[in-house]
Structures are given as structure tokens and as C-alpha cells.
């Protein structure tokens, strides 16, 4: 299957990837193209802006969370019916999971080159130490050309040496063009263009410094689009205009069309999980306080036989009618603690809810007795508070005991990302549900899994099946 595609990468974080990628998505959509948005890594926030830019769900591509073999199928699933796909990278081009700890036992075949015009490998990338789950890793798995966004401030001719290093570091990664960012003047642009073109690197655009397109950020990154609503739409419109006037969109499309066919079949949630006859209602928390979630989770729940209803804990005073199970994912409850605490009817209902509950990170905090001194649901014998410490990284976790979603000894490739801490009440001696190198956490029983660990269910579709099955017979662990 041939889908024109490209990866927007950079030498480092802060170079302007999100500006260029989101603006490019919106500018191409404004041309009447169907644009498929993707993000490398576990990030939840950028895909929200991608969705605004394209009118389609933002989707993540993460070899650590789902395994190498699912990256191309998930890409094809998300990009079905589209004219072009834009994949925003993460951090620097070659920055991946730290080399301590083994990668998941998937995709262990030999390294395979995929130059333009040839079919891409489906699995078995064979990357360098430290670049597993990097932007380069995903670009190789998709055989996609790379557009390198370079912060040109403070340099001119040296930009060519920088790009040359990134373009030659791994011959399996094809840097097909450069977008200069934070260009200061016509003369500055001319010097950078001349140096790059003399070195053989096409310049696809030059973006001037423009503070009006800055998106506000806070302790865990950009402010989610769902919290900004009209402001976020306006910000994406400004990015589209900026990229449209600064970049050669025709040249970008020509580069995207050099991507070869992928030797993979699109991922299908219906094939990943069997569907029962009865359809229980699974409520999934959303709204401004719970913005972190992967699109495939809802698709898997529906494929497993559930009817999915969205619940906003900031506004809804009761669970949706007929709710049989509850999913509370990630987000920023600490910023909405007062409003969540004020919704006492829903908190009481969640505390007494007899069905299965799956909670991640923000969901874990919401189920505690209190968060920063404000009452939460009290489903867990624990308190939560904000801290100054950022906890961030991939985790290779092992389940210590059984719960709604875990079975003893099972391994889970996950991600941790928070500035909060949870303290179990005195006398709570069950121990963590999950352990990993240097840590562990979580609460669980036959009807509950609650942990800081973020999981991508496409890599573990049985989790959706376990939740839906337990909503029909919650007393049985499957």
C-alpha cells in the first residue's frame, strides 16, 4: 500500500518540530488534501493539535509501547483513505529509549535498508544502541523521508555541517529536505540556503521568527488543545498561514510521494479482539481534566463489544446510563482539583461503582481519597500531591499480582510522565501492583487496575478484552 508520507524531525527538542509539523498538516488540509496526522512516541498533547489541524484523530507511533511489528500496520490503519501523512518526531532525530534495559521481544530481524522506490521492511529494524523508539527508528520502519527542522538562529554556513552530520549518521535514514526555523532576515536566509544547497540539501522552507505562533506551555509541556478550545483553533490557523507562506508545499508533497510501498497490512481492532454478542457500556473519562488517551483504545473497546460513552468528570454529575465499566486515563486533574472536588455526586458514584475500573496516571489521582488536600473519589486508600520532581521515562514493568488488567508475571512496556506522588494510607500493605527497574506502583484487584503506567492497548489488545469481559462477569479474572 502506497501512502505519501514524511517525518518531521529535528536535531533536538525546541527546534520547532511541532510548529512546522502542525502548520504543515493544516496548510495541506487547506489545499483540500486529506491529511493523516501521527506523532512518534507516547506524547498525548501534540496529537490534540494535530487533530485540530487535520480533522482526524491524532495517532501515536511508538515501537516501545506496541512493538516494532505494529508501527507500519498502525500507520496504515490511521492513514487509510488519506492523500498524505505527516509524522511529527520526538526530541532529536536519533534520541530513543535509554540503552539500559532490553527492548520488547519483537521485531528482532536483521537491519534492512529501504531506499526510495523499494518496499519498506515491516519489522526487524535493528537500530543503534539508544535509538530504539526514536524518530529515526520510526522513519526506518515506515521507509519515510525525513524533513529536518533546524533552528537557524545564531548560525549561517554552519547549518550545512549540522545537517550533513545528521544526514550521514545512519545511511538508512533519508533526510530529503530541510526547513530553516527562526530565520532572522533575508540575508540570514540567503546565507543558510546557499550553504545547504551547495552541500546538496534541498531547502523546503524558511520560517521567520514569529512570537505570535507560540503555544503556551506548563509543567508537562504544551497546554492541551482541549483546554484552550477557540484559542487552540486560532493558534493552528496561524501555524497553517505561517507554514503556507514560508514553505514550498509542492516540494514537500513531491518528497512525500517518494516513499515506497509498505509490506504490511493495516491494523484492525476487529481482528485484534473478538466481539461478544452483548454490548456493555464502557464510560471513558474525557473533558479538559482527562485529555490523554490513544485513539486505538476506544476502537479496541468497541471491537471487543462495548458501547463507548464519554464522561466529563468536570461537568457530568453521574455516570452514563447503563455504565458497566469505567476507564479514566491521563491528563491534568491537579489543575482542575477544585472543580473535580466540587462534583461530589459523581465522586460518590465512582467510589461506590460496582463494576471494573481501569485508571492511568491522572485516573490514579482521581481515585485517591484526596489530591493536594481536596477530596477525590476515595476508591483507593491513598492521597496524592504535586511535587517539584518530574518523573519521566519508558518502563519495562512486571505485574506482581493479578488485577483487572494484569496477571502475575506478565510484562508491560509502558511510559511514566508526571509531577505528582501517591502515598498509600498507613496499614495498606498489599505492595505495588507493578514493578520495574528502580521503582513500581499501582493498586489492583479483580475489578481494578490503577497505576501511573501509561500503556498503549494496541500492543496489548487483550487488555480491552479483559475489561469488557469483566464488565459482564466482574467476579471472574480472565
Contacts of residue 62, defined as CB under 8 A and 6 or more positions apart, other chains included, come to: 40, 41, 42, 71, 133, 415, 456
- DSSP 3-state assignment of 402? coil
Of 82, 192, 361, 377, the active-site residue reads 361
Parallel, antiparallel, or unpaired: how do β-strands 59-61 and 357-360 relate? unpaired
Handedness of CA 218, 219, 220, 226 (dihedral sign): negative
Alpha helices in 247-361 (DSSP H): 249-256, 269-272, 295-303, 337-342, 344-351
The total of other beta-carbon atoms located within 10 Å of residue 295's CB is 18
Handedness of CA 76, 118, 20, 28 (dihedral sign): negative
- Pull the grid cell for residue 83: 492523500
Give the C-alpha separation, 116 to 338, whole Å.
54
Please provide residue 183's backbone torsions phi and psi, each rounded to the nearest 5 degrees.
-75, 135
b/e per residue 116-144 (b: at least 16 CB within 10 A): eeeebbbbebebbeebbbbbbbbbbbbbb
Give the C-alpha separation, 474 to 17, whole Å.
45
- Pull the grid cell for residue 301: 473497546
Whole-angstrom Cα Rg for the chain = 23
Give the C-alpha separation, 357 to 404, whole Å.
8
Secondary structure letter of residue 309 according to DSSP = E
Give the C-alpha separation, 471 to 478, whole Å.
12
Parallel, antiparallel, or unpaired: how do β-strands 411-424 and 439-441 relate? unpaired
Q: Would you call 377 a catalytic residue per the annotation?
A: no
Give the C-alpha separation, 404 to 274, whole Å.
18
Which element (helix H / strand E) includes 311? strand 307-311
User: Which residues belong to the active site?
Assistant: 361
Amino acid at each position: 500500500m502506497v501512502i505519501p508520507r514524511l517525518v518531521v524531525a529535528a536535531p533536538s527538542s525546541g527546534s520547532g518540530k511541532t510548529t512546522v509539523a502542525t502548520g504543515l498538516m493544516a496548510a495541506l488540509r487547506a489545499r483540500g488534501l486529506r491529511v493523516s496526522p501521527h506523532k512518534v512516541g507516547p506524547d498525548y498533547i501534540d496529537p490534540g493539535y494535530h487533530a485540530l489541524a487535520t480533522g482526524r484523530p491524532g495517532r501515536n507511533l511508538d515501537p516501545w509501547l506496541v512493538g516494532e511489528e505494529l508501527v507500519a500496520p498502525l500507520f496504515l490503519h490511521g492513514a487509510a483513505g488519506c492523500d498524505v501523512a505527516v509524522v511529527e518526531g520526538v526530541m532529536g532525530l536519533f534520541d530513543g529509549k535509554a540503552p539500559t534495559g532490553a527492548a520488547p521481544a519483537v521485531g528482532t530481524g536483521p537491519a534492512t535498508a529501504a531506499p526510495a522506490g523499494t518496499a519498506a521492511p515491516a519489522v526487524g529494524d535493528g537500530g543503534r544502541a539508544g535509538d530504539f523508539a526514536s524518530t529515526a527508528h520510526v522513519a526506518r520502519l515506515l521507509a519515510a523521508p525525513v524533513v529536518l527542522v533546524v533552528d537557524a538562529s545564531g548560525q549561517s554556513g554552519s547549518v550545512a555541517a549540522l545537517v550533513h552530520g545528521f544526514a550521514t549518521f545512519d545511511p538508512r535514514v533519508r533526510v530529503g529536505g530541510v526547513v530553516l526555523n527562526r530565520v532572522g532576515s533575508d540575508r540570514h536566509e540567503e546565507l543558510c540556503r546557499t550553504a545547504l544547497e551547495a552541500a546538496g540539501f534541498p531547502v523546503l522552507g524558511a520560517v521567520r521568527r514569529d512570537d505570535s505562533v507560540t503555544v503556551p506551555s506548563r509543567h508537562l509541556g504544551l497546554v492541551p488543545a482541549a483546554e484552550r478550545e477557540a484559542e487552540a483553533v486560532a493558534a493552528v490557523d496561524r501555524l497553517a498561514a505561517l507554514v503556507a507562506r514560508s514553505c514550498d508545499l509542492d516540494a514537500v508533497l513531491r518528497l512525500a510521494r517518494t516513499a515506497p510501498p509498505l509490506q504490511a497490512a493495516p491494523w484492525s481492532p476487529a481482528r485484534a479482539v473478538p466481539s461478544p454478542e452483548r454490548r456493555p457500556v464502557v464510560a471513558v473519562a474525557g473533558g479538559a481534566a482527562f485529555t490523554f488517551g490513544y485513539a486505538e483504545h476506544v476502537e479496541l473497546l468497541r471491537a471487543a463489544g462495548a458501547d463507548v460513552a464519554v464522561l466529563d468528570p468536570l461537568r457530568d454529575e453521574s455516570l452514563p446510563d447503563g455504565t458497566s465499566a469505567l476507564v479514566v486515563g491521563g491528563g491534568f486533574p491537579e489543575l482542575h482539583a477544585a472543580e473535580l472536588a466540587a462534583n461530589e455526586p459523581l465522586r460518590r458514584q465512582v467510589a461506590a461503582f460496582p463494576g471494573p475500573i481501569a485508571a492511568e496516571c491522572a485516573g490514579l489521582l482521581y481515585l485517591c481519597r484526596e489530591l493536594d488536600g481536596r477530596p477525590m473519589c476515595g476508591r483507593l486508600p491513598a492521597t496524592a500531591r504535586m511535587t517539584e520532581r518530574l518523573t519521566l521515562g519508558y518502563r519495562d514493568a512486571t505485574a506482581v499480582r493479578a488485577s483487572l488488567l494484569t496477571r502475575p508475571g506478565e510484562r508491560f512496556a509502558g511510559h511514566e510522565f508526571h509531577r505528582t506522588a501517591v502515598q498509600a494510607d498507613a496499614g495498606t500493605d498489599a505492595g505495588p501492583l507493578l514493578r520495574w527497574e528502580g521503582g513500581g506502583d499501582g493498586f489492583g484487584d479483580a475489578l481494578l487496575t490503577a497505576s501511573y503506567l501509561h500503556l498503549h492497548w494496541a500492543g496489548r489488545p487483550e487488555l480491552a478484552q479483559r475489561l469488557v469481559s469483566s464488565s459482564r462477569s466482574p467476579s471472574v479474572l480472565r
